Structure 1
């Protein structure tokens, strides 16, 4: 067989199949023609497309080489070399554009070649290269000029030093020469500074020293030396200006280098995308060829049945060549897989067939295995570093899988969570493990993976506190960090307590001061009343005493509002309607130069709130805004609905605004810093704050000095099903026993809004007279503590005896823990509540009575 030329396996099989042409001449000729044509098309497709891909990759490499070699332009000291190398870079870029695969180039036309993108990228790279050449030439020129200046400065520096150390130099001249040397040192420092900040610093130092020199008495030689230094340092050709231009050229060159690298990366990306397009085009060609081959296979099948005998003989011929080589390759692969990295194949295959490709693949696989060995060694070093960091960090660290189970923890994890030593941790769920620690009570709300937002705090039953942080991993797991914050939280709590005690002390002092004034006024007028019993003067004293008591009552009501303990009568009302009715009253009380504007929502906003207190709060805010405007200004009162579905009232002005300190303390009682110089009680905003909080709302302040102030009151909207019941159809009557006029009027107003007729008894004796009479009523409302320090227990007992089934509501600010009616089974119609009275309590009691459950 030596007379045959070297053939690949496919060629040898073709020779064997040629022997079958006598029996399969018709089918074989057609089949062979089809196979040969398909093979020719594939080879042509591969050769043309892969050649263009190779060309695009080569051009991508050239652009990368340009980005690599461009920085060396900055190292040349000759303008000729810079221009020559720069022109070489530009020529290379033009070569890239001219040799890039064309989209209209015959067989490659179906492949999108990114010609426009390449042209734009090359254009930008050419512009950046030209900028780099210009900056490099400028930098080279300025460096040469700087060097000339530096040589002159060094010579002067040596001369100054020689004069300074001369034996015949007197002390005054010696210090002057040393000062001149310091001037030259400043110039030398500026010449060698690496940035503009350094040059500026040396320039300031030079100017300072020069000022000192000009204040001295100088010799003629010293004056000439100063003039020489000034010529070297100042002006457009002075050292400082030259250095500024040199560093500016350097920055421009670095910017051009960055643009060159950026476009080189972009060209490489376009080459990769072009290769991907070519691969897709080749895949389409292979599919079309495969379809053609399927048709040919059907024809070959008929001829194959007649050729089985000859094929078996041909297989023996091929097996002598294929089997031996494959066996050798297999043995080498086995040895390589067992760790023998010295394994090599010494087979010499002259033909470029599949066996040769397999041997070549084995050699590539062996080279890849050696690279993997090196990578594994590097990975082990990195893992060792990670383990040292992971093990020595003081915070507890846990790594969890996608399903929340712990896969790894560090040594500090058990200490931070106070776990017992030896307790198994691995493969347990994190929340399950925490449920067995002192932090178990906080775990269900804090560490639900679907609700956890990355940070939370856990409080332990032993008082310890830890901070929990979570970072998700790409595979769905996560990293958990547990930090012990117990000591820091204790310090913060102590600071909070100190501030709270300080605030209470201030409130107590201010209240004592104001009540002292009230009591002093009452005491003085009582003394005058006793001294001058004349009827006309006595009435004047009584009026003064009433005025003082009203001031004290107002102060108490404001304190109750701040403490959120005032008596409220919430009603279901339309917020827009209330503000529209209040706007006229507000506008009357403002300054003439203050413009007042209202912005009311078009649709009703139903809220449940005390209308009187709300009007008082809005008036307070508008009055504060009016006082914050020095001359002319504008106040805007806006009512609307925010993004969270809550109603809001916003009062904004363009007054003097608040400082950060004032804004932080705005809600403190007795704190006032009015810009108009008037003295206020400091309870206005505190009262508004208490009322809004007691009504279930919130308050926000946005203010800055000279920017104005914006205060927003936020109230929850009443639910659509909220309906105030009306009991007027039942014709219910109620007796109200209350010695406090304010609380008595509140109860009457609440009953009237519910359709209940009310009769009031302001004293114990009045109430007793009504109960003894035959007057009928269905509900008794009484305060526990009445006038003359008398309690309401006997009145309630007497009313229950004379009116069986009577509903009783007892209210008090100091309800005792034990009382005669605390047995609910024995007295089911007696209800005891703490002040203040509200509509919800009345609705519940009246509804129970009308439904027969009371």
Structure 2
């Protein structure tokens, strides 16, 4: 029989102990017979049950079934499903109880692990949905901001009234703050400006530490451990330093409340090779053909409660006082790490600090050899050229048309990809040359990626600038790899547009 069978009398003295019980608990029958069951098997009721619940069930139904955790002879824990019923003599009087115990330790651990993975998967799906929503909001917001900033610039250039100039300056400052906020949203949504290059993460840590050491409390010791492996990655240096800085600032904030009592805190940067299996299980975007390493940023702060740990990467979630945090710092960390084929994982206990583990794919030699193409911008503007503006936002399209016209460009417009192709075909038939196209990525009828492919098929040498306030980085990179001549990230100013146009038109000329 595989189940342990244990009998006790009315005083809980063990009267029977079978071989399966010997195997399960490590005690022989000789060692336990005649002893109190609770001294031999310290027992904890699970799933919210208690000894009182078991007694009530026995009294009403004559049986209790439930799960308990018990200690073996060697001190290790075993989880069993116990089925307890009364023992009666020939007269029907209760003379004790018998418990049939089945070992479900592995079964429970498997179920808990499966539940944990399921919850992590649900969390990832939730974060992805929130990311899409955040990206969509940022798209609309960036188009509005581009129109506001552009019109403010034009109005500023045309007015001589100092009071009006002051008002316009305030509008510009507020709009730029809003633009910074949308960039944080796009960072979370993995849709921000992304400039990949070989980056040594150790240098990034050093830069962040140099910045922090001049601003944080002198009682906080910053420790940067040496790395025993290469720490180069392919990524955007600005975004990677932002990730490290955001986590480090949160760590400092967590340490501050402990300094009054301890008078000392530690912020530590440590390195290790590889990636945990459970991280791989729930982060399917990781690169299977590349080795990974981990940057662990730990602090001696107040720690993060378990119930909050699942929420900390959600945008606008913050435990800080009103006005002291946007709730976008860790959301941006999450998005940037996903964008770099990496992962972020947090371990923390209240009162024992926190550790944020950042997993990165190590750069391969072939990637560093390819390098990153650099562009050099000639500041001189080129006029007397014709540009096609393709954007579904009427206000933004009209603004760009006015700015380019004032700079001496001839301008034609289209509100979507289908219309853009029709305009190009019509102008070609009329023998009117179009020198460049400024193409929005997110449009109705035909999006920017599809329009780019069709324009290039019809006009292989046509210079095309991609304008994006909302687009998955992968999509933008694919279009760039397919031959796009540059990327403008909304909201951009007129000078940025002129410089890009100047650059590509000089090449074409």
Name the TM-score, length of structure 2 as normaliser.
0.49
Rg comparison, structure with higher value: 1
- Structure 1 or 2: larger helix share? 1
Higher relative contact order (CA 8 A, sep 6+): 2
- Structure 1 or 2: larger strand share? 2
Name the TM-score, length of structure 1 as normaliser.
0.31
